[in-house]
Structure 1
């Protein structure tokens, strides 16, 4: 019983420390710059194939008026740059950490939509990784399972 209480206290203390550290690390100015930051993917198609008739790909169109989208030719005739950024307020500091863990950060939705749009345009379908059917029997296995489920909202473009 003592170990369980001590372990819970340790995890709580570490969590609070990390949250405070993240809050101090990001200043308000940096958070304001990041709120307007463009996220960009390069699609290996001509611009008229990416947005035929001015229609955005379905994953980006589903976000509607919550994002701003730009489509332009990629440098060196390498396809099309598809750029998007959220128009809603993005969290910062402690609020950002909690939003990312909860999956409610608006930047996650924009990243996911860009990644899915690229897949849909280049392959005709949204590709998903195969998940191995192994039960998470250990705490480490549970952490890997949570990270795998949350992986669609994070990561590189």
Structure 2
């Protein structure tokens, strides 16, 4: 490994550390972050199915139905007649701390997971999970990526 590559890895780790420290300081001081202000934002996925197929027999897809009254769900045609938008948001404000997400106790994570699983079920017929880790590199960035994947708690990407 060259000195330049090692310096780049150390700079990346240091940058992530600084960001983490500022988040912890904000959480400890009681300041509300922009994320806390946006707890009631709609999370939306586009499903490549018609609205009739998404809400078959008037029932929501199982992952969203299981959340019950924790979420409000909207089903509407996607712009340009390109499928259906499936939108969900929390019905009650539950304060989220900087640590709640790391511990897997942020209720928004459950909504994200449910939307991702609903989209997967509707489009593929099963919940799709990645088969292999993104990297097996044993270096600092590989360990950092492994930790980030663990913290994501299966949310995937929206």
Q: Verify the 8 A CA contact 2:43 2:112 in the aligned structure 1.
A: yes
Structure 2 residue corresponding to 1:63, chosen from 64, 67, 77 = 67
Is residue 39 of structure 1 aligned with residue 43 of structure 2? Answer: yes
- Alignment partner, residue 91 of structure 2: 87
SS in 2 for 1:71: strand
- Alignment partner, residue 26 of structure 1: 33
Task: Structure 1: give runs of 5+ residues left out of the alignment.
Answer: 1-12
1:127-146 to 2 correspondences below 5 Å:
127-132=128-133, 141-146=142-147
TM-score with structure 1 setting the length: 0.73
1:156 offset after TM fit, Å?
3.4
Is residue 118 of structure 1 aligned with residue 125 of structure 2? Answer: no
- Cα deviation code 1:95-120 (max 9, x no counterpart): 2x100100111111101100110011
- Alignment partner, residue 102 of structure 1: 103
- Cα deviation code 1:29-82 (max 9, x no counterpart): x734x1211000010111110010111111111111111000011111111110
Task: Structure 2: give runs of 5+ residues left out of the alignment.
Answer: 1-16
Q: Verify the 8 A CA contact 1:67 1:84 in the aligned structure 2.
A: yes
1:139 offset after TM fit, Å?
6.3
TM-score with structure 2 setting the length: 0.73
Cα RMSD over matched residues?
2.9
- Alignment partner, residue 9 of structure 1: none
